[in-house]
């Protein structure tokens, strides 16, 4: 085992708490079983809900008869699409989340058609889980099956079955008169491709494909809804954003926002999939109909069939390079499976292909295509990993062809401050060059390889999220502090919020207890998603702490009867100006907390912001794999992640994000995929057959934290969570290519594909 790593290039700092390892505030509850997740809330009289799901990939619903289920002893309520309000096409999107409520209503509960295996059709609430399970079997649904389509490219052909008769391609050229499975094609171009390719000495053109993969969080979706006769609703749910959930639910179900109070439970992983709603509206309707609290917890099979996944893809890419390594042109096109409703991450794909590089002539297009699969949800850097894989694979091949070191090739073309991405983002201070240099200087890059081993390299780009965040910093009368945010803590963000508040206030982290406030207790906060929380919510916490300090300075000034300008804050104390030295003694935060209760009242600081300026981040990975030529099995044996995070507030949890993203990428590249039968029914609906990496599949994951501080954040934060997944599948696939000496273009790289690639005969059982 490697020694605990000390190889980060973290800059020295004068901070006391920021960048230090401190005991995590929610840690003890999580190692003792106390922490309460979505399914851990029990309310008096609580009913248990179950959902009936479609066995068909595409069918008209002719009729639904729920009478037998309703009559079963113990069944208290049944809902179908009739209980979920419909919303007309082109309902204005609900800011700040862009969501088509016509689609959302139909995804929550199928209306006229079922569009994928697992599509919800009806639900019951009963006195026990067992009765609820029995009851859904008694619901009779008559279907008229329709032809289905699973592949995003096939879905665009003229004879493909059409999922939505009302959907016409936005911006289609030239024909928009016929309904289409393509919701829209986004494209962008700059320069002159013909000129760019004519300047190239080497042109490489390849095609790629990938299968949908699931976010694979361990805690299934779970919530408890409790509706009151007065129209108010309380909801406890496992979500990445309870304010967003509230917004979606209030609009979907016509509830007043102030009467819908949502509490975020502890969340057992989300990775993007818990940024939307699934069972919550159904649980609320069942609770409204029965007058009792209703628990809705999905089974693992429901999670696979009806939530997530990330889009599968088809992609083609063409890149031109001069023999000195200058990239002259790039042209890429990707077809993403949106699933049953539009919403594939096409914008991010477009922004990802060429963004690490300064290329004059580029064009990219991305198609958002509906197919008979569950509607895709965000998955850690949505849209980026597959586009990155295509570009990085081609660059690695080009480096081989022209005989240049692959990192030197990137360095020659790397984007810098002042460069502009295809989407139009003008970069501020960014750290790609620092990341590439740290990678090249790492011992891993030149370590010798053994027989059947190969090394892969890739770099990824992600434009972090900013957006709406709120925070309150509440000084309690004993001098301890609560920091309240509206951002669910998925991977240790409470630690970082606490560290930043402690740094500002000048007190020990032990005196600060961070909490996640419910939607009635704090203004709007966007989701924990897009690597935005430490940046945006952290900024709100810093602002709120500074607000507390301003109030404490004012309080001290009043008490001392001097001007507030003559009071400064330092190391947890209000300190009078030098001219009062000897006359007035400083007051500590704890002393001022007591003073406040006798003078002007309790002290708290607040901040509500719409953060911007988060900027871009880059993550490189080095991966060694060993390929068994007899079985085709690929074993990752060494893995290093190098990322510019701006500043690591909680370095141990920053490393954890880098390691976790890397291993998700290993799974994406080697094992994970949705497998359907000829009727488009999902075949691998459990963890045994949807094989995510286990501890014995992977090596230690080394990390190098690069810190090029972001000038727009008080502590230089960029973000960390998404980039490690952006470049991981590309690096793993590249390592396999290097080990077997041939290109691999279809993920996952399963043993049969490897054996075929190296010309081995494949045993029948492996096919």
Contact 236, 224 (CB under 8 A): yes
Instruction: Check residue 271 for interaction with other proteins (CB under 8 A).
Output: yes
| Exposure b/e, 450-472, CB count within 10 A at least 16 = b | eeebbbbbbbbbbbbbbbbbbbb
* Nearest approach, Cβ of residue 436 and other proteins (Å): 23
Count of Cβ atoms closer than 10 Å to residue 189 Cβ: 13
Among 94, 153, 580, 687, binds other proteins (CB under 8 A): 687
**E-only strand ranges, 550-675:** 567-570, 573-576, 587-588, 603-611, 616-627, 634-644
662 binds other proteins (CB under 8 A): yes
- We find the least distance from the C-beta atom of residue 172 to other proteins, in angstroms, to be 38
| In the complex, minimum distance from the CB of residue 105 to other proteins, in angstroms, rounded to a whole number | 29
Could you give the string, one character per residue 14-53, with x where binding to other proteins holds by CB under 8 A and - elsewhere?
-------x-xx-xxx-xxxxxxxx-xx-x-----------
Cα–Cα distance list, 285 to 221, 274, 292 (Å) = 17, 20, 11
Q: What is d(CA 613, CA 414) in angstroms, rounded to the nearest whole number?
A: 21
Q: Smallest distance, Å, CB 217 to other proteins?
A: 6
Query: Using CA atoms, how far apart are residues 42 and 45, in angstroms rounded to an integer?
Result: 9
Running DSSP on this structure, what letter comes out for residue 93?
P
Binding test (CB under 8 A) with other proteins, winner from 71, 90, 218, 443: 218
* φ and ψ of 733, to 5 deg: -65, -40
379 binds other proteins (CB under 8 A): no
Asked whether position 656 contacts other proteins by CB under 8 A, the answer is yes
Q: Is 266 in the site for other proteins (CB under 8 A)?
A: yes
Spell out, one character per residue from 602 to 641, where the chain touches other proteins: x when CB under 8 A holds, - when not: ----------------------------------------
Site for other proteins in 419-478 (CB under 8 A): none
Pick the closer one to other proteins by CB: 116 or 653: 653
# chain residues binding other proteins, by CB under 8 A: 62
- Asked if residue 269 binds other proteins (CB under 8 A), the reply is yes
Residue 53, token pair as written in the block: 């799901």
Q: Which is nearer to other proteins, 240 or 290 (CB)?
A: 240
Using rule CB under 8 A, residue 6 touches other proteins: no
Which residues does residue 608 pair with via DSSP β-bridges, in sequence order? 470
Touching other proteins, residues 299-318 (CB under 8 A)? 299-300
Tell me the window of 71-79, 193-201, 344-352, 647-655 that interacts with other proteins (CB under 8 A). 647-655
Shortest Cβ distance from residue 514 to other proteins (Å)?
15
C-beta closer to other proteins: residue 397 or 702: 702
Token digits of residue 545: 């702490």
Gap between the Cα atoms of 162 and 58, Å rounded:
10
Q: Is 490 in the site for other proteins (CB under 8 A)?
A: yes
For residue 729, give the 3-state DSSP assignment. helix
> Among 219, 234, 280, 722, which residue interacts with other proteins (rule: CB under 8 A)?
219
Q: How far apart are CA 422 and CA 363, in angstroms?
A: 8
Give, as ranges, the residues between 538 and 597 that touch other proteins (CB under 8 A).
Answer: none
* Per-residue contact flags (x/-) with other proteins for residues 112 to 141, judged by CB under 8 A: -----------------xx-----------
Name residues whose C-beta falls within 8 Å of residue 47's C-beta, 6 or more positions apart in sequence: 76, 77, 125, 126, 127, 286, 287, 290, 292, 293, 294, 295
CB contact at 8 A, 126 and 135: yes
Contact 542, 516 (CB under 8 A): no
3-state secondary structure 444-511: HHHCCCCCCEEEEEEEEEEECCCEEEEEEEEECCCCCEEEEECCCCCCCHHHHHHHHHHHHHCCCHHH
Comparison of 183 and 217: residue with beta carbon closer to other proteins = 217
- List of residues contacting other proteins (CB under 8 A): 1, 4, 21, 23-24, 26-28, 30-37, 39-40, 42, 129-130, 215-220, 266-271, 297, 299-300, 490-492, 652-653, 655-657, 659-664, 686-688, 692-698, 700-701
């Amino acid at each position: 085992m490697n020694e605990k790593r000390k190889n980060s290039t973290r800059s020295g700092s004068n901070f006391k708490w920021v960048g230090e390892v401190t005991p995590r505030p929610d840690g003890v509850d999580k190692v003792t079983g106390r922490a309460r997740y979505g399914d851990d809330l029990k309310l008096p009289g609580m009913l248990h809900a179950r959902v009936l799901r479609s066995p068909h990939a595409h069918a008209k619903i002719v009729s639904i008869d729920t009478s037998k289920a309703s009559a079963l002893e113990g069944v208290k309520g049944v809902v179908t699409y009739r209980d979920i309000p419909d919303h007309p096409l082109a309902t204005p999107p609900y800011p700040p989340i862009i969501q088509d409520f016509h689609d959302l209503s139909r995804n929550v509960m199928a209306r006229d058609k079922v569009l994928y295996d697992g599509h919800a059709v009806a639900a019951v609430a009963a006195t026990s889980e067992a009765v609820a399970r029995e009851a859904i079997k008694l619901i009779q649904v008559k279907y008229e099956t329709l032809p289905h389509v699973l592949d995003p490219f096939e879905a665009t052909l003229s004879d493909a079955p059409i999922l939505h008769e009302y959907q016409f391609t936005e911006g289609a050229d030239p024909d928009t008169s016929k309904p289409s499975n393509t919701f829209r094609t986004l494209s962008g171009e700059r320069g002159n491709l013909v000129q760019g390719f004519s300047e190239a000495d080497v042109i490489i053109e390849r095609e790629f494909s990938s299968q949908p993969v699931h976010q694979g969080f361990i805690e299934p979706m779970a919530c408890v809804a409790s509706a009151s006769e007065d129209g108010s609703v309380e909801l406890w749910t496992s979500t990445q954003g309870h304010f967003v959930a509230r917004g979606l639910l209030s609009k979907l179900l016509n509830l007043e926002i102030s009467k819908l109070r949502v509490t975020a439970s502890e969340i057992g992983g989300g990775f993007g999939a818990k940024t939307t709603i699934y069972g919550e509206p159904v649980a609320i309707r069942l609770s409204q109909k029965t007058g009792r609290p209703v628990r809705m917890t999905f089974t693992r099979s429901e999670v696979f069939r009806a939530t997530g996944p990330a889009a599968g893809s088809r992609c083609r890419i063409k890149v031109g390079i001069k023999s000195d390594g200058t990239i002259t042109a790039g042209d890429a096109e990707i077809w993403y499976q949106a699933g049953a409703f539009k919403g594939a991450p096409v914008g991010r794909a477009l922004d990802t292909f060429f963004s690490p590089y300064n290329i004059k002539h580029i064009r990219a297009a991305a198609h958002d295509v509906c197919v008979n699969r569950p509607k895709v949800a965000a998955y850690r850097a949505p849209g980026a990993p597959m586009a990155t894989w295509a570009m990085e694979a081609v660059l690695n091949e080009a480096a081989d062809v022209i005989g240049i070191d692959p990192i030197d090739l990137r360095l020659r073309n790397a984007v810098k401050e002042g460069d502009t991405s295809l989407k139009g983002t003008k970069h501020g201070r960014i750290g790609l060059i620092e990341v590439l240099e740290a990678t090249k200087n790492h011992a891993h890059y030149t370590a010798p390889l053994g027989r059947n081993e190969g090394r892969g390299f890739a770099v990824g780009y992600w434009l972090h999220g900013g957006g709406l965040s709120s925070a309150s910093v509440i000084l309690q009368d004993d001098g301890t502090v609560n920091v309240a945010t509206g951002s669910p803590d998925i991977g240790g963000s409470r630690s970082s919020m606490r560290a930043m508040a402690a740094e500002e206030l000048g007190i020990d982290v032990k005196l600060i207890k961070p909490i996640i406030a419910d939607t009635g207790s704090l203004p709007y906060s966007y989701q924990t998603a897009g690597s935005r929380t430490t940046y945006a919510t952290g900024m709100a916490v810093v602002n709120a702490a500074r607000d507390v300090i301003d109030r404490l300075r004012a309080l001290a000034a009043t008490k001392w009867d001097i001007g507030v300008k003559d009071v400064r804050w330092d190391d947890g104390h209000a300190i009078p100006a030098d001219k009062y030295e000897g006359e007035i003694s400083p007051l500590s935060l704890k002393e001022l907390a007591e003073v406040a209760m006798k003078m002007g009242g309790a002290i708290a600081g607040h901040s509500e912001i719409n953060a911007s300026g988060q900027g871009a981040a880059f993550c490189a990975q080095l991966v060694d794999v060993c390929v068994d030529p007899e079985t085709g099995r690929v074993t990752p044996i060494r893995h290093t992640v190098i990322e510019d995070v701006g500043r690591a507030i909680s370095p141990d949890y920053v490393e954890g994000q880098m390691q976790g993203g890397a291993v998700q990428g290993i799974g994406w590249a080697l094992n994970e995929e949705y497998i359907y039968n000829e009727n488009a029914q999902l075949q691998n609906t459990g963890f045994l057959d949807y094989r995510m990496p286990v501890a014995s599949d992977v090596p230690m994951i080394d990390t190098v934290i690069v810190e090029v501080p972001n000038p727009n954040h008080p502590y230089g934060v960029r973000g960390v969570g998404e980039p490690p997944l952006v470049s991981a599948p590309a690096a793993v696939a590249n390592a396999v290519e290097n080990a077997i000496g041939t290109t691999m273009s279809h993920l996952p790289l399963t043993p049969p594909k490897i054996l075929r690639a190296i010309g081995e005969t494949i045993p029948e059982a492996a096919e």
